[in-house]
Structure 1
Amino acid sequence: MSRRTALCAALALAAPLLLSAPAATAATGAAGPLARFHHQRLAWKSCVQGPNDDTGKELQKAGAECADVTVPLNYDDPGGRTITVAISRIRATDTPHRVGPLLLNGGGPGGQTLGDAPWIRQTMKDVGARYDVVGVDPRFVGRSTPLDCHWPTGTSIQGAGADRAGFDRMTAFARDLAQRCRKFEGPVLPYVTTRNTARDMDIIRSALGERRISYLGYSYGSYLGEVYATLFPGRVDRMVLDGVIDPDRYSPRLLRGAEAANRHALANWASWTAARNTTYGLGRTRDTVLAAVNRIQAAATRAPLKVGSYRLDDHTVPAIVFSGLSQDNDDAHGALARAVRDMGLAAQGQRVVPDPDFTDTLKFVLTGSESAYGSVQSAILCGDVAAPRDPEVYWRDIQRSRAQDPLFAPVARNIGPCAFWAPPREARTTIRGDFPALLVNATGDPRTIYPGAVAQHRNWPSSRLVTLRGTDQHAVYGVFGSACVDASVNTYFATGRLPAEDVTCDAQADSDA
């Protein structure tokens, strides 16, 4: 996930250029070729990088400091090339009751998390004062030796189109994206993996001088947490995974199987929009609003829709609708309703000037302004698990599912650049059999679907599952505004003890409060 736009807060200034003491060997347990990384000194500095750095200014306001951690590009060759991983830190203020560092990952994969420390610290309430809250831009993301394949888009996720010709265009598009990555970033691609990110986390732990870390991971960050707990189980104190991925389903085709949850979210959005027909004019009933979406997709199949300076076809329209369904709140629903209204007007041949929210979405999908995000997201997925290489596998899958879901199945099951990627350098990670983590998921989550959280809870029988019923929300803790969920997580952070049994919260109870 990455509640990336809504969640990005900022980076900040602490003491200028202070050096931490070298981590003690007892704290790291590290020797041999990695010792120089584990024992490195961190130069803490201001997080502000220039007058337009809003993230840095927000971090500075929160009292954060920043540092760059040096890690090996290739852990099999620690004497070779190195890269840096950028971190931010808001120090614990309740030092007599300090627990230790809490490392963050906001998802994606490819989401920047450096700026998330302030809002996480706020969500934690009083218990936040007992932690050093540490935001991390993972390797090749944001300020951490960024990777950019110079794509013409910020995402590889688009619809397959209405027919074989459309699918063939998407196959050529996916092949081109993969070729661009080989051209611009080929030497580092084998090392853009979750396993290496987990290894970087352990270098960060040691460089901070800590025996153990706590961890909060959203969406893809849940998988990163699962991998870290597998590789370094003795280094974890408290772990919260929100928007939980079943590791058995983790692959470049992670969205496959999420169609039903997205149809449910779309139907609920349509009901919300129908109740506001005087504002959006898309229809007075849920079915009328859904019919408007179908008409827009049909029109885009016949000819591209002109929205401002952009042209939307049957590949991009369903991807835009899909992208608008991860958050279950009035702001997100309104943004999608305005986008659908604008696309509907364009389908009628009217001149449309999109609002800033829709303009940002169009820029993300149809220009290279966010090329780095899509590049590293695909690089991580492709580097972790191999995807089918035969285009016919995807085409047959799309055709089998199109009748049941003509809007979302061609998005969730479409071919992507991983079909044309080199095989992963390491074997797929086999996640350990049990771990006492706190898992959080909404029942209607359209990205990390609820059955995945149930499956991982079964995989980790000593874990506890906090379920939020009655919402199509992706990422819950500190995001949705559930007092029940937030209190459950904060109690665990405060005590280190999991609930005696699983917890069920009701989204309606929060909205009525």
Structure 2
Amino acid sequence: MRRRHLAAGVLASLIATAIVVPLAVAAPSTSDPITWHACPDGLALECATLTVPRDHRAPDGPTIEVAVSRLKAADPARRRGVLLLNPGGPSVPGLDLPLTIAATAPRELTDSYDLIGFDPRGVGRSTPVHCQLTPEQLDPTKLFPYPAPDGDIAASVAYSRQVAEQCGRHHGDLLPHITANTARDMDLIRTALGEQKISYLGVSYGSYLGAVYTTLFPERSDRIVLDSVFDPNKIWREGWRDWGPAPEERFDEFADWLAGRHAEYGLGATRRAVRDTYLGLAAQLDARPVPMPGNSFRAATRYGLYSDRAFDGTAKLWQAVKRGETPPGPGGKLPFGAPLWAIVCGDAGWPDNVALHQVQVHVDRLRHPITNGLPSNIWPCAFWPAKPAELVMKITDNGPSNVLLTQNLRDPATPHSGAVAMRAALGERARLVTVDQGGHGVYPHTGNACATVTATTFLVRGDLPKRDVWCPR
């Protein structure tokens, strides 16, 4: 398990966040049936809209809308229920996710379940939070904030203050009511579908959301798969700080791959040489104000670590930079921004000590140069206008043994240590499947036979392994 490193004296400055179990708030016993219709934008699914309380603890108060989609089980005779899906992010829309899962999952799974997607509250078509961000404010290197090339965070502080003020001005009434209420929205989806229980597959942030749901509603949780698991003890800032050591370990795997193809790419014949190439190219780009500064190059490389399939594209990006070309950055508009902040700032308190962030950024740049201070940089959460309505959810072992965790050993976004922590929190409710590979995301996309068979057998037949599982590459 990786150890979190902090500069001397910094740990004492962190703001402690209390941990409580929020009120479950039972879903209504009856609900109007869902009215399905054609999905927008030609999406080949059925869609519907549910009206839910903005705050489930005040069910007679203001309401918002949640968009839901469905892909029916391919074999009605074998249908056993619904599988609710969440792609993570936080804040990635999930309306089209049934199509993505159906394209990669074993037929046994799609025969057995109606696949149910939804845009979580504040996201996509579900009463979206937008904060009136400008195109410049949607720069990916600001949404996931890199410091200046020398580590200074003054620009990040100014950006964070500005967008926090915008979010409070435009969405202050919704901002405190996200993850725990999203889990309650999920239970209203279950009720509207006429199901006694729901099964669930959630990735990354979706792993935490699923753990919140099954902690709140253990008796309504059927078979739960949490993939690429976020550490429930690090919601949220300390989880981002794992983006120092975790990408370093995954980068070494990429560097070994690239060194083995030195004749093809010419970017270094050893792990050390590849690392030197990366740091050198980033430093060269830091001197260019536009169109691709070093931080965009760093961001593109970090995203390239999410999948082995991205290695070739990342190597070609490096080659282009080495030739003096200025290829595009990691993409323009990412599926994040304001909804991301609504979740991670609304769930937990963040330290507002600017000096603390600056010190930690300098330490990160020395210890983890691949991400150059990103993990500890300041976010709008430091100036967030709305305090969390409920404190951080404590994940507990209070239900049947019905949770399977699937986790890559070298994940650059949600490290293996987070899955170990979630396994400990869920206790005998859960089993952990560890896959000896890198990248972000296991089931059903990577095709690892061991993990795929284990997860599919659990979802379709209910066979939870008797003990934790180790899957070779």
Which TM class, normalised by the smaller chain length?
0.7 to 0.9
1:414 shift after superposition: 0.9
Q: What residue in structure 1 maps to residue 209 of structure 2? A: 224
**Does the 8 A contact of 2:229 with 2:407 survive in 1?**
yes
Q: What residue in structure 2 maps to residue 323 of structure 1? A: 303
Match of 2:352 among 377, 389, 397: 389
Query: For the structure 1 residues 29 and 415, does the alpha-carbon distance in structure 2 shift closer, same or farther, using more than 3 Å as the test?
Result: closer
1:336 aligns to 2:336 (yes or no): no
Q: Deviations over 1:283-308 (max 9, x none)?
A: 3333222111111222234x2254xx
Q: What residue in structure 2 maps to residue 190 of structure 1? A: 176
Match of 2:426 among 453, 457, 460: 460
1:269 shift after superposition: 1.3
Give the stretch that moved more between structures: 259-268 or 229-238. Answer: 259-268
Report the AA paired with residue 178 of structure 1: A
1:427 aligns to 2:422 (yes or no): no
**Does the 8 A contact of 1:319 with 1:411 survive in 2?**
no
**Does the 8 A contact of 1:158 with 1:318 survive in 2?**
no
1:276 aligns to 2:257 (yes or no): no
Q: Deviations over 1:110-130 (max 9, x none)?
A: 112211112323413223212
Secondary structure of 1:113 counterpart: coil
**Does the 8 A contact of 1:159 with 1:411 survive in 2?**
yes
1:244 aligns to 2:229 (yes or no): yes
Q: Deviations over 1:29-77 (max 9, x none)?
A: 755xxx6xx512321011243xxx4xx1xxx2xxx31111111122233
Secondary structure of 1:112 counterpart: coil
Give the stretch that moved more between structures: 137-146 or 194-203. Answer: 137-146
Report the AA paired with residue 82 of structure 2: P
Q: Deviations over 1:408-449 (max 9, x none)?
A: 250111111111103212122122235521111011011111
Q: What residue in structure 1 maps to residue 369 of structure 2? A: 406
1:439 aligns to 2:421 (yes or no): no
Report the AA paired with residue 80 of structure 1: G
1:201 aligns to 2:201 (yes or no): no
Match of 2:127 among 116, 137, 145: 145
1:459 shift after superposition: 2.0
What number of residue pairs does the alignment pair up?
439
Match of 1:472 among 422, 430, 438: 438
Q: Distance in 2 between matches of 1:299 and 1:119?
A: 39
Query: For the structure 1 residues 427 and 29, does the alpha-carbon distance in structure 2 shift closer, same or farther, using more than 3 Å as the test?
Result: closer
1:246 shift after superposition: 2.1
Q: What residue in structure 1 maps to residue 468 of structure 2? A: 502
Q: Distance in 2 between matches of 1:230 and 1:444?
A: 27
Q: Deviations over 1:112-158 (max 9, x none)?
A: 22111123234132232121111111112122222212142254213
Residues 41-190 of structure 1 mapped to structure 2, 5 A cutoff: 41-49=33-41, 53=42, 56=43, 60=44, 64-122=45-103, 123-149=105-131, 150-151=133-134, 152-153=137-138, 155=140, 156-163=143-150, 166-190=152-176
Query: For the structure 1 residues 280 and 178, does the alpha-carbon distance in structure 2 shift closer, same or farther, using more than 3 Å as the test?
Result: farther
Give ranges in structure 2 of 5+ residues lacking alignment.
1-24
Q: Distance in 2 between matches of 1:134 and 1:221?
A: 14
Q: Distance in 2 between matches of 1:176 and 1:337?
A: 36
Q: Distance in 1 between matches of 2:380 and 2:95?
A: 27
TM-score, structure 2 length as denominator?
0.87
Query: For the structure 1 residues 265 and 124, does the alpha-carbon distance in structure 2 shift closer, same or farther, using more than 3 Å as the test?
Result: same
Q: Distance in 2 between matches of 1:340 and 1:135?
A: 37
**Does the 8 A contact of 1:275 with 1:284 survive in 2?**
yes
Q: Distance in 2 between matches of 1:460 and 1:43?
A: 36
Report the AA paired with residue 288 of structure 2: P
Identity %: 36
Query: For the structure 1 residues 180 and 253, does the alpha-carbon distance in structure 2 shift closer, same or farther, using more than 3 Å as the test?
Result: farther
Query: For the structure 1 residues 158 and 281, does the alpha-carbon distance in structure 2 shift closer, same or farther, using more than 3 Å as the test?
Result: farther
Report the AA paired with residue 374 of structure 1: G
Query: For the structure 1 residues 206 and 342, does the alpha-carbon distance in structure 2 shift closer, same or farther, using more than 3 Å as the test?
Result: same
Q: Distance in 2 between matches of 1:320 and 1:218?
A: 21
Give ranges in structure 1 of 5+ residues lacking alignment.
1-27, 364-368, 508-513
**Does the 8 A contact of 1:434 with 1:459 survive in 2?**
no
**Does the 8 A contact of 2:409 with 2:435 survive in 1?**
yes
Report the AA paired with residue 177 of structure 1: V
Query: For the structure 1 residues 305 and 339, does the alpha-carbon distance in structure 2 shift closer, same or farther, using more than 3 Å as the test?
Result: farther
Between the two structures, name the one with larger relative contact order (CA 8 Å, sep ≥ 6). 2
Q: What residue in structure 1 maps to residue 11 of structure 2? A: none
Secondary structure of 1:297 counterpart: helix
Q: Distance in 2 between matches of 1:381 and 1:46?
A: 32
Root mean square deviation, CA, Å: 2.2
Report the AA paired with residue 467 of structure 1: T
1:107 shift after superposition: 0.5
Give the stretch that moved more between structures: 119-128 or 408-417. Answer: 119-128
